[in-house]
Amino acid sequence: MASSSSLDEALGANPLLQDFDFPPFDVVDAKHVRPGIRALLKKLEGDLEELERTVEPTWPKLVVPLEKIVDQLTVVWGIVNHLKSVKDSSELRSAIEEVQPEKVKFQLRLGQSKPIYNAFKAILESPDWQTLTEARKRIVESQIKEAVLSGVSLEDDKRDHFNKIEQELKRLSHKFEENVLDATKKFEKLVTEKNEIEGLPATALGMAAQTALSKGHENAIAENGPWIITLDGPSFLSVMQHARNRSLREEIYRAYVTRASSGDLDNTAIVDSILKLRLEKAKLLNYNNYAEVSMATKMATVEKAEELLEKLRSASWNAAVQDMEDLKNFSKSKDAPEADDLNHWDTSFWSERLRESKFDINEEELRPYFSLPKVMDGLFNLANMLFGINIEPADGLAPVWNNDVRFYRIKDSSGSPVAYFYFDPYTRPSEKKGGAWMREVLARSHVLSRDGACARLPVAHMVCNQTPPVGNKPSLMTFRELETVFHEFGHALQHMLTKQDEGLVAGIRGIEWDAVELPSQFMENWCYHRDTLMSIAKHYETGETLPEETYKKLLAARTFRAGSLSLRQIRFASVDLKLHTDYIPGGSESIFDVDRRVSERTQVIPPLPEDRFLCGFRHIFAGGYAAGYYSYKWAEVLSADAFSAFEDAGLDNSEAVKETGHKFRETILALGGGKAPLEVFVEFRGREPSPEPLLRHNGLLATASA
């Protein structure tokens, strides 16, 4: 008796099982994961059995209890998964690894529930169908579609096989992600001679010395070293763009494109297994390939995605070939011995030199104008002008997982809170995965209202990996890091400014995947808007504004190498589609052969024979972008066209901009997954999307028409 009550007491004290307004990120530990998730799953299994026993094809008897089950799992698993991304440890990993199969098993049981599926079908076929709101119709249709894709129609043996595949896919994705993180962490290049890292800017030297310091080189300082170069984004990019030492660039590049491709961190077999299992899953569901499964919940079809990629590829190819010619000629004019033999580790370096020469812009010299506090002020002022919201610090209101994390409250024009978000800006290679992302913490929901009157407010995470403050300097950002913050904030706005009270389609929930990048890519355009940029770009020491001349050069440099950058994304999107349509796992062609075949049409310099970038391609093997990476380009068409509505209204006309911003908020940001994205776009723009604004913004229109 005593042991059982002490167990209950321990569970009662488990922070994952508490009732909270904001997750207790400061106290959740690896030790809470196993008991917490197991207790939650046990409770939810009981809730699901009760729902199946009492279900009726009505909203209160079906959707309300279902939303409560889905939400509890999403929120609690979200806490654990988030901590794995930002505060990784071997203890946390093994705890997640152990309970993940149990969590997947429950999700499959929920997704394959016949009583729930039949109740949704009964709503669809009932005479009351026409009286439902558009959002409710979308919920019913998407629940039926998701159930079919979860294997609800499969009979016993096939369903068991399907479930085994799902479990194994989840396990392999986790392993893939861990291998990339560990391989990135494992690589360290210690440099002791200053001439070996000549050209590296002060910020990069400061960061490399700080890394060396943290690894036990106690006398490391920026000026004299020693320095440690890693494969973490900011470190890798600074070497590629600025190191004069060509052999150092080559070494770092080769290490980067072969990450997680050898030894006990080799992802090659994992990728093959993932592709094989995805194909098996597709066949079980009566699809020809996994891309068709992916497209079942998207705006596009395989054919339409391929058609768009080819249209953009042919518009970009000649420009990219010219880019390479320009680099050759420029490096030759600088007497570079490699001018006639430029390789992958030369292009970023010479591109930077050419950009500096052509536009007289030095990325590093711009950093002092982009200090993180000023960037956030400018971003919040822009959001206020466009969408009528006020954003204020609310640090201390919610627990955080690291002292650098900020917490903010968003209020509407009447002063009422509408949402909250966390911002975790800096790179922490030892425990935080690379890249940048936005995730939901809590979604807006009337059913889950805390007081029964107002909807529960949405909460988001915004995570970046930029250069941390060095010494007493604030975090000084590159222009690319500035764009990244705007991008992630666009995602967060769609989650936070939703007016949709149906929790299953509120915010970013229920939005077709190839439309979710619309608001994020839309926000990037404002980085080039004069008033916005000038309000941000203040020198962190003197307060002086970025010179007008420099702004004009930034604008002119916007389309610099646009063809090459476009092809890079098209390579990723095309290889993703090829691997999920006509690649035969275990056949005569390897995954790397497929990449090389795609690269012939998407890369001016063919990849190295030993290029294994696929072993680090997290988006499609450990993220949600399998047979969906094309979404970036698909949504870029939508976002460029959406921004062109502001251009048409007149970017200098503040009243017109506010009016268009209000319309954007009331459609793209407010409607969530409650309305089909094409209809939402047409409601905002007054017509269907056109690729013309994207090609115009990228300076590729002439090439396309030619």
Radius of gyration of the chain from its Cα atoms, rounded to whole angstroms: 26
Stretch 283-310: mean pLDDT, rounded? 96
Cβ atoms < 10 Å from Cβ of 545: 16
- Would you give the DSSP letter of residue 402? S
Q: ∠337-341-344 over CA atoms, to 5°?
A: 110
Q: ∠261-262-268 over CA atoms, to 5°?
A: 45
Residue 706: pLDDT band by 50, 70, 90 thresholds? Answer: very low
Please say whether the beta carbons of 34 and 99 come within 8 A: yes
Beta-bridge mates of residue 151 = none
What pLDDT shows up at residue 37? 97
Residue 10: pLDDT band by 50, 70, 90 thresholds? Answer: low
What pLDDT shows up at residue 12? 77
Residue 700: pLDDT band by 50, 70, 90 thresholds? Answer: confident
What pLDDT shows up at residue 2? 42
**What are the C-alpha distances in Å from 298 to residues 142, 226, 513?**
11, 50, 6
SS3 614: helix
Per-residue model confidence as pLDDT tens digits over 91-125 = 999 999 999 999 999 999 999 999 999 999 999 99
The secondary structure element, H or E, covering residue 250 is: helix 246-257
Stretch 196-224: mean pLDDT, rounded? 93
Residue 53 has pLDDT above 90, yes or no: yes
As a whole number of angstroms, the distance between CA 401 and CA 87 comes to 8
Stretch 363-386: mean pLDDT, rounded? 95
**Active-site residue flag, 177:** no
What pLDDT shows up at residue 3? 43
Residue 370 has pLDDT above 70, yes or no: yes
Residue 61 exposure: Cα atoms within 13 Å on the Cβ side: 12
The secondary structure element, H or E, covering residue 597 is: helix 591-602
Residue 704 has pLDDT above 50, yes or no: no
Stretch 383-411: mean pLDDT, rounded? 98
3-state secondary structure 403-472: CCCEEEEEECCCCCEEEEEEEEEECCCCCCCCCCEEEEEECCECCCCCCCCCCECCEEEEEEEECCCCCC
Q: Of 488, 502, 524, 636, which is the active-site residue?
A: 488
3-state secondary structure 629-640: CCHHHHHHHHHH
> Got the DSSP string for 489-514?
HHHHHHHHS-----GGGSTTTT--GG
Per-residue model confidence as pLDDT tens digits over 173-194 = 999 999 999 999 999 999 999 9
Place of tokens 């990037």: 524
As a whole number of angstroms, the distance between CA 344 and CA 181 comes to 23
Residue 565: pLDDT band by 50, 70, 90 thresholds? Answer: very high
Stretch 594-622: mean pLDDT, rounded? 96
Go through the chain and tell me how many residues it has: 706
* E strand intervals along 3-109: none
Residue 357 has pLDDT above 60, yes or no: yes
In sequence order, the 6+-apart residues with CB closer than 8 A to the CB of 39 are 11, 14, 17
Please say whether the beta carbons of 331 and 342 come within 8 A: yes
Q: Which two tokens stand for residue 451?
A: 């007081």
Residue 361: pLDDT band by 50, 70, 90 thresholds? Answer: confident
Residue 504 has pLDDT above 60, yes or no: yes
What pLDDT shows up at residue 453? 75
Please say whether the beta carbons of 235 and 208 come within 8 A: yes
Residue 430 has pLDDT above 50, yes or no: yes
Per-residue model confidence as pLDDT tens digits over 518-553 = 999 999 999 999 999 999 999 999 999 999 999 999
Stretch 604-615: mean pLDDT, rounded? 96
What pLDDT shows up at residue 4? 46
Stretch 416-432: mean pLDDT, rounded? 94
As a whole number of angstroms, the distance between CA 218 and CA 16 comes to 39
Residue 379: pLDDT band by 50, 70, 90 thresholds? Answer: very high
Sheet containing 406-411: which strands, arranged edge to edge?
390-393, 406-411, 417-426, 459-466, 437-442
> Got the DSSP string for 325-362?
HHHHHHHHHTT-TTGGG--HHHHHHHHHHHHHHHH---
User: What are the backbone angles phi and psi of residue 445, rounded to the nearest 5°?
Assistant: -165, 130
Percent over 90 (pLDDT), the chain: 91
What pLDDT shows up at residue 9? 58
Residue 233 has pLDDT above 60, yes or no: yes
Among residues 37, 108, 111, the alpha carbon closest in space to that of 79 is found at 37
What pLDDT shows up at residue 705? 42
SS3 687: coil
Stretch 672-695: mean pLDDT, rounded? 94
Of residues 451 and 60, the one with the higher pLDDT is 60
> Peptide bond before 547: cis, by omega within 30 degrees of 0?
no
